[in-house]
């Protein structure tokens, strides 16, 4: 079938809308008409070849939501007409997946960043038959239609706003999952969150929902910090104006129990660790451009734990419906992060995301007219 997709033709270039051919779904795949798709920092990481395979041209997009049009013969838990959110790809069969930790699947890179299916085929082609790199996060959802693997298609309630749900597939579940799944915050916990982008603010809202009593948001953007206060931060720190570790220890003299880093920056991670309570726990989410260096000597007697996590340690079939229920109950207002853009304005949406003008850009692809 003919569809419209946004294509990156070379490293770091803009997105170009083009007509391409999309194959029929294979036996274990699902064809989805995309209603909306979030723009995530990971799309930019792949565009700029910081992570992933150097395969261009490529169709990115990995926070898709839409309506199922067709399913393969081996797909039994999904049917045409279902409303769905698309999430990350995983095999579901290896010992890592079977242990309940699919974000760390043995085939994670191949199914999400390789630019092709695991059998080395492509579902997208130019009109002349030339293959286009695709299968990004097993979906490539910057397009009017997407083919996804049955494992990463999550059926969601039809009374939930489908045009808002796409970011739950990656960025929002990553931040919320860091709090709920990875750190397992309890009532009365204290937490510091570095970075108030979509991931950090999702973590902040989850911390509030978990009844943390001290939630410290750290950033360099005063507008974002003020917004963090609206969402539930009890304290904010502008790291260009205050010494972070000193300020945290003024708020909590014995240190903060939990930390989340969404920046990937050495100095930010070390500032958080320097202000943590003994046996504190920290998770790192941000994509780093430099190797991490830690001031380990000052931490030797603290018993700290630091983990690098992916996708909020979530099992998406369980976690995404939970986040939707929390949203519908008024406990997780992630819609406040979202600004919608028409599909043809994808480059403006990307620019606004990268400059910080918009927290979470969402493309309303379902409204696109060929």
Query: pLDDT tens digits for 66-103?
Result: 999 999 999 999 999 999 999 999 999 999 999 999 99
- Asked if 191 contacts 211 with a C-beta cutoff of 8 angstroms, the reply is no
- For residue 2, the model assigns a pLDDT of 96
Mean per-residue pLDDT, 302-310: 93
Nearest to 38 by CA among 346, 310, 314: 346
* 154 secondary structure, DSSP code: E
Tens of pLDDT, residue by residue over 154-185, are 999 999 999 999 999 999 999 999 999 999 99
Locate the domains of the chain by residue range: 2-169+333-367, 175-309
- Asked if 170 contacts 197 with a C-beta cutoff of 8 angstroms, the reply is no
- For residue 55, the model assigns a pLDDT of 85
* Predicted TM-score (pTM) of this structure: 0.95
User: Strand pairing partners for 369?
Assistant: none
- Asked if 30 contacts 145 with a C-beta cutoff of 8 angstroms, the reply is no
User: Strand pairing partners for 36?
Assistant: 65
Tens of pLDDT, residue by residue over 43-70, are 999 999 987 777 899 999 999 999 999 9
Nearest to 304 by CA among 282, 272, 337: 282
- Considering the four listed CATH numbers 3.40.50.1820, 3.90.180.10, 3.30.420.40, 2.30.30.230, the one that applies to the domain covering 2-169+333-367 is 3.90.180.10
Query: What are the residues whose beta carbons fall under 8 Å from the beta carbon of 119, sequence distance 6 or more?
Result: none
Provide the b/e sequence for 168-186 (b: ≥16 CB within 10 Å). bbbbbbbbbbbbbbbbebe
Query: What are the residues whose beta carbons fall under 8 Å from the beta carbon of 316, sequence distance 6 or more?
Result: 87, 88, 102, 152, 154, 169, 173
Tens of pLDDT, residue by residue over 217-242, are 999 999 999 999 999 999 999 999 99
- For residue 188, the model assigns a pLDDT of 97
Which tokens in the block code for residue 150?
């049955």
The shares of helix, strand and coil residues in the chain, as percent rounded to the nearest 5, are 35, 25, 40
Tens of pLDDT, residue by residue over 129-145, are 999 999 999 999 999 99
Going by pLDDT thresholds of 50, 70 and 90, the confidence category of residue 295 is: confident
pLDDT over 80 (residue 117): yes
pLDDT over 90 (residue 29): yes
> d(Cα 285, Cα 262) in Å, to the nearest integer?
5
- For residue 370, the model assigns a pLDDT of 67
| CATH code for the domain defined by 175-309 | 3.40.50.720
> d(Cα 9, Cα 109) in Å, to the nearest integer?
21
Residues comprising the chain, all counted: 370
- Asked if 58 contacts 115 with a C-beta cutoff of 8 angstroms, the reply is yes
pLDDT over 80 (residue 305): yes
- Asked if 136 contacts 62 with a C-beta cutoff of 8 angstroms, the reply is yes
Tens of pLDDT, residue by residue over 353-362, are 999 999 999 9
pLDDT over 80 (residue 288): no
Going by pLDDT thresholds of 50, 70 and 90, the confidence category of residue 367 is: confident
Going by pLDDT thresholds of 50, 70 and 90, the confidence category of residue 209 is: very high
């Amino acid at each position: 079938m003919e569809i419209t997709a946004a294509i990156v033709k070379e490293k770091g270039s803009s997105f170009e809308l083009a007509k391409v051919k999309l194959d029929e779904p294979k036996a274990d795949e699902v064809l989805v008409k995309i209603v909306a798709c979030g723009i995530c920092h990971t799309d930019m990481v792949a565009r700029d070849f910081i992570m992933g395979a150097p395969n261009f041209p490529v169709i990115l997009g990995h926070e898709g939501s839409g309506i199922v049009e067709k399913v393969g013969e081996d797909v039994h838990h999904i049917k045409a007409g279902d409303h769905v959110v698309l999430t990350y790809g995983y095999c579901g069969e290896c010992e890592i997946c079977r242990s309940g930790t699919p974000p760390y699947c043995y085939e994670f890179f191949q199914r999400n960043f390789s630019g092709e299916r695991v059998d080395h085929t492509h579902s997208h082609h130019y009109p002349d038959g030339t293959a286009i790199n695709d299968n990004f996060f097993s979906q490539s959802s910057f397009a009017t239609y997407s083919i996804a693997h049955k494992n990463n298609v999550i059926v969601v309630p039809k009374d939930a706003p489908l045009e808002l749900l796409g970011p739950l597939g990656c960025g929002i579940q990553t931040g919320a999952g860091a709090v709920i799944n990875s750190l397992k915050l309890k009532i009365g916990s204290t937490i510091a969150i570095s970075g108030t982008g979509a991931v950090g603010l999702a973590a902040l809202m989850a911390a509030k929902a978990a009844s943390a009593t001290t939630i410290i948001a750290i950033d360099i953007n005063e507008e974002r910090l003020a917004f963090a206060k609206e969402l539930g931060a009890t304290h904010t720190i502008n790291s260009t104006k205050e010494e972070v570790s000193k300020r945290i220890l003024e708020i909590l003299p014995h240190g903060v129990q939990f930390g989340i880093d969404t920046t990937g920056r050495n100095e930010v991670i070390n500032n958080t660790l320097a202000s943590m309570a003994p046996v504190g726990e920290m998770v790192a989410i941000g994509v780093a451009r430099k190797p991490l260096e830690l001031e380990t000597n000052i931490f030797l007697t603290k018993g700290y734990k630091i983990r690098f996590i992916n996708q909020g340690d979530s099992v998406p079939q369980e976690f995404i419906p939970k986040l939707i229920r929390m949203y519908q109950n008024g406990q997780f207002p992630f819609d406040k992060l979202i600004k919608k853009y028409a599909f043809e304005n994808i480059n403006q949406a990307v620019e606004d995301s990268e400059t910080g003008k918009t927290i979470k850009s969402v493309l309303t692809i379902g409204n696109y007219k060929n």
